[in-house]
Every structure is written in structure tokens, then in C-alpha cells.
Amino acid sequence: MTTCHDTAGDAALALAEAAADPAGTVLLVGNPNVGKSTLFNRLTGARQKVMNAPGTTVELRVGAWVGPLVDLPGTYSLVSRSPDEQVVTDTLAAQPHAVAVILLDATALSRSLYLLAQVGADRPVVAAVSLLDVARDRGSAVDTDRLAALLGVPVVPLDPRTGDPDGALARAIPDARPVAGAPRTTPTGAAHDEVALADVERLFEWVHGIVGELGTPAPVRRTRTDAVDDVLLNPWFGAPVFLAAMWLLFQLTTTAAAPLMGFVDAGVTAVADAARGVLPDGWVEGLAVDGVLVGVGTVLTFLPLLAVVYLALALLEDSGYLARAGFLADRWMRTLGLDGRAMLPLVIGFGCNVPAVAATQTLPSAKQRLLTGLLVPWTTCAARLPVYVLLAGAFFPEQAGTAIFVMYLLSLGLVVAGGLVARRTAFRTLSREPLLLVLPAYQRPRLRPILSSVWVRVRSFALKAGSIIVVTLTVMWVLMAVPVDEDAEGSVEGSLYGATAAAVAPTLAPAGLDDWHVTAALVSGFVAKEVVVGSLGQSYAVGDDAAALDEGIRATLDESSGGAGAAAALALMVFVLGYTPCLATVSEQWRRFGARWTVVGMAVQLAVAWVLAVVVFQAGAVLTRLL
Amino acid sequence: MHLGDCSLDRDVVVLSVDLPPESRARMYEIGLYTGAVVHVTHRGPSGGRVIAVGGARLALDASTAGRVEVEEL
């Protein structure tokens, strides 16, 4: 466990203890959607650490409880079918003596006991039973004392949303023991085959024996959840409700988050102004304020947005609607080889790519999260809109709306095409998986555990992705501060940054964009698309004069394109859509998917942006000559 | 008869699951094994089905529902 996301005193200590004393470690295991992570949050509070399992992009959390507590990904079986499930199998195999707490779902006891038998055949376990109230409402209450007698292990009834208020679960840990009579299975840990299938049948025989002896009555046919699903899954009402939920989510990432982001931005500006007043003029002030402080400000500005999106996603997940949304959108997303739940991050991406990459956490498998996270940058975020408006307004004032609409269509086209290509190449296995989704009962979300989880995730972004942002922005400031041309000292053009932009400009000549103003703006756009228009204004030294900026960019593109300025403008819009959205998105991808996939993603985006821009410009230039 | 052809709220017993072993094993693990008694509670907008397996609810896409052979009880 080497790739750590953040440091939190107790959790770091827990991690060290987990490595040094595996026997003292407690592993939290359970099916997906039974409240395992909620229970983990309640047991450990904020004393936890988020990290990737070694060599994977699968997230593990370690926290401090009676000993180090490890929250493993949700799984139905130890015969793994995905990287997430493999992490569960590997972690259990690496710590054969660690106590496992298995969270059983009282409404799906057979499925839960199946996992319990696999995990607890040789290892000391404690069974915690959740959703007892839902099972009782459905007429199939579970007798936990009888279950404990049948299994020969401690069985603790609990509600994950309240945790372990009376300490019963903690007190049961020393009494943990292997499950009595559980059949041992072939520890394949690999893909399913006929041998594994035979094991499955043998295990279920044992499970049916336990369930039979428990004498749990059959559940009622119709539940309140079924009644709600009559509406939410109805072919006529379900889709509009789903689209309304997506629209609300999009609004949260744009309209609702904007005032919060503005508030933080104003605060950072005030601090920057105060710092300028205190620090001596020159390098120290520039580095501290325009380099480091601007970087910290960029990170802080994203935090309210991420918090809002994490909160919304947690509410959707806890209420039980997220799984329904996945079912409703499944057919559309399946053509891309993606799970229906991938619709959410992609919708959020049209507001802002950063929380969209973060929202991939709701997807069930590592490959799904990775592919969705790699497609998100092609959803055209709100920050790209001002660039389209500037260029469309300057070159096609009569058809500006149409030109911008085409960018949104092209964005959708890129996501679909990217998904289709990925599905036939690096992500070939995704398309073969049938949809088999457990729909949890609807529940009223509990705010406290949700807020605790939002806090942990936001802090994790601030510390890991934030450090990448601050370092990169500081390096960029240094490049801008180093003069290379004494005659133009003090201007962007005369800096090392300007010289670099001029040096790379010829690579955009086939797209009619061979000009340092353009490349300097595109480099700044790598940091954030919000600064592209400002960067162009700065390079023309026109300040806020919009007309002068229009005139400047028209003159530049007319010259760089040999008279086909409109074609070059369209090519530039396409390039802005296609290449890296911003440094914060890259940092979030890096944090979640690692350096290799992030760099591959950036290279593909850059290549696609270049090719599309060249095609658009060349076609536009021919049309310009013909007309 | 396949699960996708079933009427709503009728008990059926699973006879076979025509999927590759790895997908079949996962369906078994989730509760859709040969001999399991289930009933269809909802039809999804794209031909998918929601079924009750004990107290749990499972959603299947249309293609998967068409590969589970069942018999009415």
C-alpha cells in the first residue's frame, strides 16, 4: 500500500500498524450496496486514509478503529471478475489471520451467507447484519441469535448509518472464529470456469441448509420500494424523472456552485492583495503571490464544487436511486461498452470535468471507471464556452449560436466515437458483461455519515491533486518571469514562456494557427480554459477591450491562415474542445488512474485535437477559396 | 419460456441460464441459480426486467433476461 492519497495522523498510524502487525488488522467485507462504506465511515470517523491498492487504480480505505480497519471494495464472491474483486481476494490472501467483519444484508441473506462461507471457512470472522428493519418490513425478519448459533460465529445486528453506538461490534472482535461447517472451495482467485461453478453450487447447498434451519418466512410480494419503482422505472415516467435528475445534477455543477466558487475566489484575491501589500516588490512577491498563491487559490476554488457534487452523488447513492439511474440509462451507455451509471459523470462533465472524473467513483468496476474518466475530457465543460463565444463572435457574428451548438454536437460525437474505439481496442472485455444490477431498497439518506465522507474526499483532492496544480502553476510563473529578449522585457512575448510558445507554433501551421499568441493561449488553456480569453487579451495588451481583442485575433488568424481566418477560427475552437481540458482534471485523473493512463489520455486528446483542427482548417480553407 | 417473456407478479422457477460460465457463476452468486423461485416485478424502459429473488430486487437487461429459461409454478 504505497500510493497514498492523503495523510491523517491516526489513519497513517493505522496503515503502519496494518503493515507491521497484520494479525491486528480488521478487514471489512461485504456485497456492494449493503452500507459497508457507510459503516466504515461511522466506525473510523475522519481518521482514515484513501489510497490505491498496489499496482491498481482500485481505491482502498484504511482507518483507525479497534485496530487498523481496511474497507475492501464490495464483492459478491472471492472468485474475482474485476480488478476491484481481485483486490479483495488478494488482500484476504495476503492477511490470512486478520479478522474479517462480514456485513450481511438481511434482505438478501443467501447471497450474503455465500460470501461469508467463502471468507470465513478458515479465517476468524464476525458477522454484522444490516437492513434488518427492511427485512422485517418485508415480513422476513432474521433471528440473529439463531443465526449465530447456526454459524458458530458472533452475529451483531446493526444499522451502518448509526455505526456501532453501543460497542457490540468492537466487543465481538476478540470472539471471532471460522464459520462452523462452511465448505472449503478451490481458492482460484481467477476467472470463473466450470470448476468454480461446481464450487458455487456446493456452497449454495450449505447456504440453503442454513437458511432452511433459520426458518425465515418468505418475504411479502409487494414492498414500498416496489410501489416507488412502479413510477421511477415506468417506461413513460421513468425517463423524464431520470432526465430531470441529470438536469439538476448539471445545474449543481454550474449555476449552484458558481456563487460558492466566486466567494472563495474573492477571498483568495483579498489575501493576494494583502500579501502584495506586505511582501517586497520583485521575485519574492511574484513567486509567492502569482505563483504559489494563485495555485492554492485555483485548488480552493474547486473545493466547493467538488463538495456539492460529492454530496449530490452520495444522496443519490444512499437513497437507492443511483442504481435505478444506471438501469434506465444502461441501453444508451451499453453501445459505448459502459455501465448505465457512467451517464452521471458524463453529464457532470458538461458542467465541469474535475468533479466528473471524481464522480467515476460511483461505477462498479475499475475498467468502467477508467474508460469513463478518459472520455470525460471530451465533454465540453462550461469553461470552454467563453472561448467559443469569443471566436464565433469575432468570425461568424451572424451564425455564432450555430457554431457553438456544433461544438456541443462534436463533443457528444467525440465521447461516442472515443467509447466505440476504446470498446474495440484496449477495453474489449467491457462489452461482453451482462447487466445484473442489485437494486437496493429506497432509504432516507443520513446526512452525518454523508458529510463525513464528503469531507474525506474533498480533503483527499486538495492534498493530492492540489499539490500537482500548485507546483505546475509555480513552474509556469517562473517561465513567464524569465526574460529571454531584452528589448521586449516585461512582456509575455519576451519571456521564456513566450519564446516556448513561438517555438511550438509551427506545429499548428497545418491548422492555420502558426502564431505565438495562439499557442501561448493554448498553453495557458492547459492550466484552465477559464484563462484562455484573458491570456489572449494579455498577449495583445488590450485589457478588457473586447472590440480590440476581436480585431487582434482576426488579424492574427487571417495572417496565420493565409487569408482563411474563419477556417482557422473554427479549427481553433475544435482544438480547444479536443485537447486537455485543464490541469485540475489531469491532476484528478492522475490521482485516480495513475500517471500512465493520464499521459496516454493527454496524448490521445492532443493527437485527436490536432488531427480534427487540421481537417477542419484544410476543408474550410478549400471552401473559402471556392466561395 | 424466458424471463423476458414472463407476466408480471407470477412465480417462476429458473430452469437454466444460457450464459458463459463466468457470467453464469455470477448470476448464481447473486441468487439466480437453477431451481431458484423468482418473480418479475417490473419491466424496464428498454425491455429490461426487475425480478424479486427472496427479498432482493435484481435488474437485468433485455438480452440477459432473454437467456434465463424459466417455468411458471
Q: Strand order of the sheet with strand B49-53? A: A436-439, B56-60, B49-53, B37-43, B11-17, B68-72
Q: What is the mean pLDDT of residues A304-309?
A: 85
Distances in Å between the alpha carbon of B11 and those of A91, A181, B20, B52, B53?
A: 40, 32, 26, 9, 10
Chain A CB contacts of B63 below 8 Å: 434
What is the model's pLDDT at position A191? Answer: 44
Fold annotation for A3-220: Rossmann fold (3.40.50)
pLDDT category at A5 given cuts 50, 70, 90 is: very low
> All 3 cell numbers of residue A445?
439518506
Chain A CB contacts of B62 below 8 Å: 331
pLDDT, tens digit (0-9, with 9 covering 90-100), for A230-284: 999 998 888 899 889 888 887 887 777 778 888 888 898 899 889 888 888 878 8
What is the model's pLDDT at position A23? Answer: 59
Which of B24, B42, B67 to mutate to probe the A interface, most A CBs <10 Å? B42
CB contact under 8 A, B28 and A330: no
* B49 touching A (Cβ < 8 Å): no
- Separation between Cα atoms, residue A561 and residue A574, nearest integer Å: 15
Q: Furthest-apart CA pair in chain B: how many Å?
A: 29
pLDDT, tens digit (0-9, with 9 covering 90-100), for A381-408: 888 888 898 899 899 888 888 888 899 9
Q: Is the pLDDT of residue A4 over 70?
A: no
Most confidently predicted of A18-27, A86-95, A151-160: A151-160
- DSSP class of residue A304 equals H
pLDDT category at A59 given cuts 50, 70, 90 is: confident
Chain A CB contacts of B26 below 8 Å: 76-77, 81, 192, 436
Q: Is the pLDDT of residue A39 over 80?
A: yes
Spans of all domains in chain B: 3-72
Least confident of A381-390, A525-534, A569-578: A525-534
Min Cα distance A324 → chain B (Å) is 9
Min Cα distance B3 → chain A (Å) is 13
Alpha helices in A24-106 (DSSP H): 36-44, 83-94
Most confidently predicted of A35-39, A463-467, A567-571: A567-571
Q: Is the pLDDT of residue A511 over 90?
A: yes
Per DSSP, the residues of A224-283 read HHHHHHHHHT-TTTHHHHHHHHHHHHHHIIIIIHHHHHHHHHHHHHHHHHHHHHHSPTTH
Q: What is the mean pLDDT of residues A522-539?
A: 81
CA-closest candidate to residue B57, choices B73, B40, B34, B69: B40
What is the model's pLDDT at position B28? Answer: 84
Q: What burial letters (b/e) apply to A76-96, b meaning 16+ CB within 10 Å?
A: bbbbbbbbbbbbbbbbbeebe
What is the model's pLDDT at position A601? Answer: 96
pLDDT category at A609 given cuts 50, 70, 90 is: very high
CB contact under 8 A, A435 and B24: no
Q: What is the mean pLDDT of residues A342-353?
A: 87
Closest-CA residue in chain B for A211? Answer: B54
What is the model's pLDDT at position A46? Answer: 66
3-state SS string over A525-555?
HHHCHHHHHHHHHHHCCCCCCHHHHHHHHHH
Min Cα distance A336 → chain B (Å) is 15
Considering only the beta carbons, identify the residue of A194, A327, A331 that sits closest to B21: A194
What is the model's pLDDT at position A143? Answer: 93
> All 3 cell numbers of residue A220?
411479502
Per DSSP, the residues of A179-213 read PTTPPP-----S---HHHHHHHHHHHHHHHHHHHH
Distances in Å between the alpha carbon of A602 and those of A350, A356, A397, A413?
A: 18, 16, 32, 18
Q: Which ipTM did the prediction report? A: 0.95
CA-closest candidate to residue A353, choices A524, A598, A603: A598
Q: What is the mean pLDDT of residues A479-501?
A: 79
Per DSSP, the residues of chain B read -BGGGPPTT-EEEEEEE-S-HHHHHHHHHHT--TT-EEEEEEE-TTS-EEEEETTEEEEE-HHHHTTEEEEE-
Q: What is the mean pLDDT of residues A65-90?
A: 86
Q: How many C-beta atoms surround the C-beta of residue A113 within 10 A?
A: 29
What is the model's pLDDT at position A427? Answer: 86
* B7 touching A (Cβ < 8 Å): no
Q: Is the pLDDT of residue A16 over 80?
A: no
Least confident of A10-14, A270-274, A281-285, A290-294: A10-14
- DSSP class of residue A8 equals -
pLDDT, tens digit (0-9, with 9 covering 90-100), for A350-370: 888 998 998 888 787 788 899
Using DSSP, state whether A43 is helix, strand or coil. helix
Min Cα distance A38 → chain B (Å) is 20
Most confidently predicted of A217-221, A392-396, A492-496, A538-542: A392-396
Q: Is the pLDDT of residue A10 over 50?
A: no
Strands A155-157 and B68-72 come out as unpaired
Q: Residue A125 in contact with residue A112, Cβ under 8 Å?
A: no
CB contact under 8 A, B23 and A434: yes
Min Cα distance A142 → chain B (Å) is 12
Q: Percent of chain A at pLDDT above 90?
A: 34
- Separation between Cα atoms, residue B28 and residue A280, nearest integer Å: 71
- Separation between Cα atoms, residue A526 and residue A587, nearest integer Å: 12
- Separation between Cα atoms, residue A175 and residue A84, nearest integer Å: 29
What is the model's pLDDT at position A467? Answer: 79
Closest-CA residue in chain B for A440? Answer: B57
Give the up-direction half-sphere exposure of residue A83: CA atoms within 13 A in the CB hemisphere: 19
Q: Is the pLDDT of residue A315 over 70?
A: yes
Q: How many residues does chain B have?
A: 73
* B22 touching A (Cβ < 8 Å): yes
What is the model's pLDDT at position A17? Answer: 52
Q: Is the pLDDT of residue A441 over 60?
A: yes
pLDDT category at A489 given cuts 50, 70, 90 is: low
Chain B CB contacts of A438 below 8 Å: 30, 56-59
CB contact under 8 A, B22 and A191: yes
Chain A CB contacts of B35 below 8 Å: none
CB contact under 8 A, A330 and B22: no
pLDDT category at A591 given cuts 50, 70, 90 is: confident
What is the model's pLDDT at position A206? Answer: 92
List B51's β-bridge partners, or say none.
B40, B58
Which of A114, A236, A437, A443 to mutate to probe the B interface, most B CBs <10 Å? A437
Min Cα distance A239 → chain B (Å) is 8
CB contact under 8 A, A219 and B28: no
Mean predicted lDDT score pLDDT of chain A: 85
What is the model's pLDDT at position A600? Answer: 96
pLDDT, tens digit (0-9, with 9 covering 90-100), for B18-73: 988 777 878 888 888 888 889 899 998 778 999 998 778 999 999 899 999 999 88
CB contact under 8 A, A239 and B45: yes
3-state SS string over A573-592?
HHHHHHCCCCHHHHHHHHHH
Alpha helices in A62-138 (DSSP H): 83-94, 109-120, 132-137
Chain B CB contacts of A234 below 8 Å: 45
Considering only the beta carbons, identify the residue of A134, A193, A229 that sits closest to B50: A229
- pTM value is 0.78
- Separation between Cα atoms, residue B15 and residue B36, nearest integer Å: 8
Chain A CB contacts of B54 below 8 Å: 107-110, 140, 218-219
Domain B3-72, what architecture? Answer: Roll (2.30)
Least confident of A6-15, A201-210, A442-451, A493-502: A6-15
pLDDT category at A3 given cuts 50, 70, 90 is: very low
Spans of all domains in chain A: 3-220
CB contact under 8 A, B25 and A200: yes
* B8 touching A (Cβ < 8 Å): no
- Separation between Cα atoms, residue A18 and residue A24, nearest integer Å: 7
* B9 touching A (Cβ < 8 Å): yes
* B33 touching A (Cβ < 8 Å): yes
Higher pLDDT, A258 or A163: A163
* In the block, residue with C-alpha cell 443465526: A147
